[in-house]
């Protein structure tokens, strides 16, 4: 369908972007049920960007649409860019009227001061001659194609039908895979007059990188999300600084599954802002590791953090590995060398060592490591190399024996936890991690120790830590290890001292706010 309708000659669109440069390329999406709510969102959005999409289809009836447009008309401002959208259900919107009714409201929007409108392909196909010429809609028309199920097949060259009365094109497709994101970014290269919108959580990083690769706009909701995978306006502008991304921006990220809970983007991006670095850190939802690694070049990634479930499987894809990480058998940090090679490191080790070392004397101590995955291995090696004895307790017996042997420790069965006195216990399993924060991997009677550390940092006080604290046991939040390992990563990639105080403050602030909202 897309190939049959579009065939754009990019040469006719050379020069400055349609929506200007900088922050004007971030389009705040204003969508609400009532005119009063829409007015409030417009005021809020204009504090962040001069470009707003006004979703008239979200207003609950014609009366609310009239109210809102009358208000908008009384506040004309030529320095602002308003894109009127009244998307019908057939095009993925909320408007229940037909094509004629949609065009009526777009004409009213022009009269209210909107310089642009968004018209979906389905509407254009229903018009006589498949053209908008002769209709008094806003002067500039963005022709949009939405596929909420998959990424459309993208031709190498697309052009708008002659005499269609259309000025630019928007392609919004559901990115089911990393490969989908690659396709839409490749289609963008060299153009400044196309709006590319990879949808879904997998496509989220590409939504931001699309601006780097030529997309004329990036959409961000002010309230309710209007498409899957959208990033809020404040987050897009202040955290990711999407409007400042250029081809010279260094790209870093974190890969994992799940990944939505990660505060690594907040921590690293805060560090970039504090140190004046032209870099961005993005979260990549990666189910197939090889697929992401194939896309590293297209994304321009220079380094990435590795989290569950890839910390051990990444090994077979590395070209080089630091001796300690090789010994641990797990990698949480990858640096992309200039020749494209991948070098693995482990900063989890540093994080655990620093976090535990601040609270207890590790030499001569006895520490239970609960779990046997990548993070558990880093924790076990940190304790062992600091002079402590490691007791490994894990559901997988073979993995527990392997880890115990690697660090000169012993395996302890779970039923023995109640009767075995140790100095500390470290939870290295994901049990209790947000959003499943009401569960604990261990019972109160199994905490036969003086200190409990949970490598989970979200929530700030896990159910395990709450249980330990209620028994008078000293606790260490995973945020201590998280910040320490992140600082070590930052310094490895940036080759300079990290603004640790700013990074820590940002992470703690987010976690404390989240905790207050929860209670």
Q: Which residues are catalytic?
A: 311
Cβ contact 229:207 at 8 Å: yes
Which of 240, 205, 268, 251 minimizes the C-alpha distance to 485?
268
Q: How far apart are CA 209 and CA 299, in angstroms?
A: 8
Q: Where are the alpha helices (DSSP H) in 168-229?
A: 178-188, 204-212
506 to 122, 166, 265, 271: CA distances (angstroms): 45, 44, 11, 9
Question: Could you give the CA distance from residue 412 to residue 401 in angstroms, rounded to a whole number?
Answer: 10
Q: In whole angstroms, what separates CA 302 from the centre of its chain?
A: 17
Question: The dihedral of CA 257, 266, 329, 366: what is its sign?
Answer: negative
What tokens does 305 get? 């953090």
Which positions ≥6 away from 259 have C-beta within 8 Å? 201, 283, 284, 285, 286, 307
CA dist., res. 280 & res. 274, Å (int):
13
- Distances, alpha carbon 201 to alpha carbons 170, 283, 311, in Å: 19, 9, 21
Q: Measured at the alpha carbon of residue 490, what is the angle toward residues 486 and 491, in degrees to the nearest 5? A: 120
Can you tell me the distance from the alpha carbon of 161 to that of 176, in angstroms, rounded to the nearest whole number? 29
How many C-beta atoms lie closer than 10 Å to residue 89's C-beta? Answer: 12
Which residue shows structure tokens 């999409």? 53
CB atoms inside a 10 Å sphere around CB 129 = 11
Q: What is the 3-state secondary structure (H, E, C) of 338-364?
A: CCCCEEEECCHHHHHHHHHHCCCCCCC
Residue with tokens 């490591």: 369
């Amino acid at each position: 369908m897309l190939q049959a309708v579009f065939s754009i000659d990019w040469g006719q669109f050379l020069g400055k972007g349609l929506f200007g440069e900088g922050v004007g390329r971030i389009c705040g999406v204003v969508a609400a049920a009532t005119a009063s709510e829409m007015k409030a969102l417009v005021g809020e959005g204009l504090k962040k960007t001069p470009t707003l999409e006004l979703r008239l289809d979200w207003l609950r009836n014609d009366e609310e649409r009239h109210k809102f447009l009358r208000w908008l008309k009384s506040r004309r401002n030529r320095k602002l860019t308003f894109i009127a959208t009244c998307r019908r259900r057939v095009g993925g919107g909320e408007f229940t009227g037909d094509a004629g009714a949609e065009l009526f409201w777009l004409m009213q929007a022009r009269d209210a001061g909107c310089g642009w409108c968004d018209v979906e392909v389905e509407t254009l196909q229903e018009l006589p001659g498949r053209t908008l010429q002769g209709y008094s809609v806003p002067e500039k028309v963005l022709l949009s194609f939405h596929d909420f199920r998959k990424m459309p097949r993208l031709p190498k060259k697309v052009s708008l039908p002659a005499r269609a009365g259309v000025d630019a094109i928007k392609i919004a497709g559901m990115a089911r895979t990393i490969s989908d994101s690659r396709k839409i970014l490749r289609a963008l290269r060299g153009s400044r007059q196309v709006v590319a919108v990879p949808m879904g959580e997998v496509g989220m990083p590409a939504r931001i990188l699309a601006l780097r690769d030529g997309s004329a706009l990036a959409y961000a909701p002010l309230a309710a999300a209007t498409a899957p995978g959208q990033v809020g306006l404040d987050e897009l502008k202040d955290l990711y600084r999407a409007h400042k991304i250029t081809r010279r921006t260094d790209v870093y990220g974190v890969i994992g599954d799940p990944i939505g809970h990660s505060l690594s983007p907040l921590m690293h991006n805060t560090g970039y802002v504090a140190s004046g670095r032209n870099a961005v850190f993005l979260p990549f939802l990666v189910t197939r590791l090889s697929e992401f690694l194939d896309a590293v070049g297209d994304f321009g990634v220079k380094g990435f953090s590795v989290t569950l479930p890839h910390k051990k499987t990444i090994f077979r894809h590395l070209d080089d590995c630091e001796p300690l990480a090789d010994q641990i058998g797990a990698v949480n940090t990858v640096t992309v060398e200039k020749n494209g090679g991948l070098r693995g490191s482990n900063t989890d080790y540093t994080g655990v060592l620093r976090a535990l070392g601040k609270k207890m004397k590790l030499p001569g101590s006895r520490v239970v490591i609960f779990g046997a995955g990548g993070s558990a291995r880093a924790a076990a090696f940190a304790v062992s190399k600091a002079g402590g004895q490691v007791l490994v307790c894990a559901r997988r017996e073979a993995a527990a024996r392997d880890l115990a042997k690697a660090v000169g420790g012993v395996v302890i069965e779970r039923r023995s936890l109640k009767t075995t006195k140790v100095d500390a216990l470290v939870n290295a399993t994901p049990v209790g991690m947000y959003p499943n924060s009401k569960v604990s991997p261990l019972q109160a009677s199994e905490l036969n120790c003086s200190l409990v550390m949970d490598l989970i940092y979200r929530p700030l006080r896990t159910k395990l830590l709450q249980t330990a604290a209620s028994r008078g046991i000293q606790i260490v939040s995973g945020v201590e290890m998280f910040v320490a390992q992140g600082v070590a990563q930052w310094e490895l990639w940036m080759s300079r001292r990290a603004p640790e105080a700013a990074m820590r403050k940002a992470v703690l602030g987010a976690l404390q706010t989240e905790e207050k909202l929860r209670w």
